């Protein structure tokens, strides 16, 4: 663990998105220097960086395609050049395309798997090579693999691959003092989740949890912060964060 002279450093892919933004802000609040990754929305990432810096934190924006090895090598290089190393990598970057398996577009399947599977793999490959002892790698899965909502087969399939990678990565990191876990949110009020859903559908999904509400990005970020910081004895797990929906 780092002291005040050597603060921990986190790279959050998809940091300009809903859960990614909340995660960046929460890790900055915990005292970490944060690299806010973006794929296309540079201005939003830079706004998050500005807010963190104005609050007394340290942050930079880094861009790139998570599925492109050269882009991710450059992103990790930029973080190490700015902050001296990487302690925490959070893979929030991902897309969700929905539809029944029988009619699902194979082009959409390939697009989603490129980002959700290959992207997680490429970023994780850099992470396992670079994260310092005492660090954490946190991937993103989904609770829908257990909730089994119709229309989610392609998305859940991509996250099933993330689950498998996560569990094996944890064991491949033996002796490195680096934890590897995945966070599996349930229905969460993000633009990604709400896109294309009407009020009735959103209301029904809010009732899935016995808490009778959707999760918030901040709910998910709290779990990420625990795994990135004090949760050192949680390793090789898929952590379902869904308000008791399953």
Residues serving a catalytic function are 155
Q: Cβ–Cβ contacts within 10 Å for residue 168, how many?
A: 12
Cβ-based neighbour number of residue 217 at 10 Å: 21
Q: Shortest CA distance to 144 belongs to which of 131, 154, 132?
A: 154
3-state secondary structure at position 63: strand
Q: Are strands 59-63 and 33-38 parallel, antiparallel or unpaired?
A: parallel
Question: What is the spatial distance between Cα 215 and Cα 19, in angstroms, rounded to a whole number?
Answer: 11
Report the C-alpha dihedral over residues 225, 227, 229, 230, rounded to 10 degrees: 120
- Alpha-carbon span 59 to 45, nearest angstrom: 10
Contact 66, 122 (CB under 8 A): yes
Q: Which two tokens stand for residue 136?
A: 């954490």
Q: For 39, which DSSP code?
A: S
CA distances from 80 to 34, 74, 104, 213 (A): 11, 10, 41, 40
DSSP 232: T
Q: Among 53, 72, 59, 66, which Cα is nearest to 14's?
A: 66
């Amino acid at each position: 663990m780092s002291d005040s002279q050597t603060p921990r450093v986190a790279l959050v892919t998809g940091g300009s998105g809903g859960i990614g933004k909340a995660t960046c802000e929460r890790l900055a609040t915990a005292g970490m220097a944060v690299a806010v990754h973006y794929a296309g929305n540079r201005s939003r990432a830079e706004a998050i960086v500005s807010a963190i810096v104005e609050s007394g934190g340290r942050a930079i924006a880094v861009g790139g395609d998570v599925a492109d090895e050269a882009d991710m090598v450059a992103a990790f290089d930029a973080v190490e050049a700015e902050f001296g190393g990487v302690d925490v990598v959070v893979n929030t970057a991902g897309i969700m395309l929905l539809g029944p398996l029988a009619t699902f577009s194979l082009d959409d399947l390939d697009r989603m798997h490129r980002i959700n599977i290959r992207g997680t793999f490429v970023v994780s490959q850099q992470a396992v090579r670079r994260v310092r002892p005492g660090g954490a790698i946190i991937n993103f899965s989904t609770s829908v693999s257990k909730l089994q909502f119709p229309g989610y087969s392609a998305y859940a399939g991509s996250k099933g691959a993330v689950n498998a990678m996560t569990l094996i990565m944890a064991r491949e990191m033996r002796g490195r003092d680096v934890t590897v876990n995945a966070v599996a949110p349930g229905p969460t009020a993000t633009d990604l989740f709400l896109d294309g859903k009407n009020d009735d559908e959103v209301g029904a999904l809010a009732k899935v949890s016995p808490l009778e509400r959707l999760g918030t990005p901040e709910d998910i970020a709290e779990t990420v912060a625990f795994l990135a910081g004090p949760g050192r004895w949680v390793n090789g797990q898929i952590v379902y964060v869904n308000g008791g929906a399953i």
